[in-house]
Each structure stands twice: as C-alpha cells, then as structure tokens.
Amino acid sequence: MIPLSWYVLLSAALFTIGVVGVLTRRNVFIILMSIELMLNAANINLVAFSHYLQNLTGQIFVIFVITVAAAEAAVALALIILLARNRGTVYVDEFNIMKG
C-alpha cells in the first residue's frame, strides 16, 4: 500500500514542473502542455484523497476536470493553429494581436 504522502509529493512535483514550464517557456504548445500537466497533478490529488477518504466525489470531479481539459485543449489548439497561420510563429512574444 502506497502512503498518501507519496501521491501528494508526486502531485506537487508535477504541478511545480507545470508552473515552471508556463513561466519560462515561450512556445505556445509547451505552455499548453504545461497547463495540462498542472491539471493532471490536481487530478492525482483528487483521486488520492478520494481513495483515502473512501468517497467517490473526488473521482467524479476528476471526470469533469478531464472533460473540461479536453475541451480547453481543443479550443486552444484551434486558436494556436489560427494564430500560427496568420502570424507564422508559435512564440508568445510575437503575438500582439489582442493589444488595444
């Protein structure tokens, strides 16, 4: 039996890697993957605590988070492809379309 603290440490490590990826990278695809990594770290926590507390609420919430993450990835990928076609780059520093 794996203790709960190992799941929490794994989740914290994955979340930290995701935050570092979002803050340091300029490629939009890598930023999107880092956000997905942070969502999966939260899902690990939800499932671990759900199992530890013998309550299915966390696992049901994970299904909703995965669904929203899939929809978010699809919309974000469509926007990135559109911007890449129009601007010719996928780097965040090059995007200034939405400046007012």
Report the predicted TM-score, pTM, of the whole model to 2 decimal places: 0.86
DSSP 97: T
Residue that has been written with the tokens 């759900």 in this structure: 50
CATH dotted code for 4-90: 1.10.287.3510
Percentage of the chain lying above the pLDDT 90 cut: 74
Instruction: Give me the pLDDT at residue 99, please.
Output: 65
Per-domain residue ranges of the chain: 4-90
Q: What is the pLDDT of residues 71-87, one digit of tens each?
A: 999 999 998 899 889 88
The pLDDT confidence band at residue 67, using thresholds 50, 70 and 90, is: very high
For residue 51, give both structure tokens. 């199992």
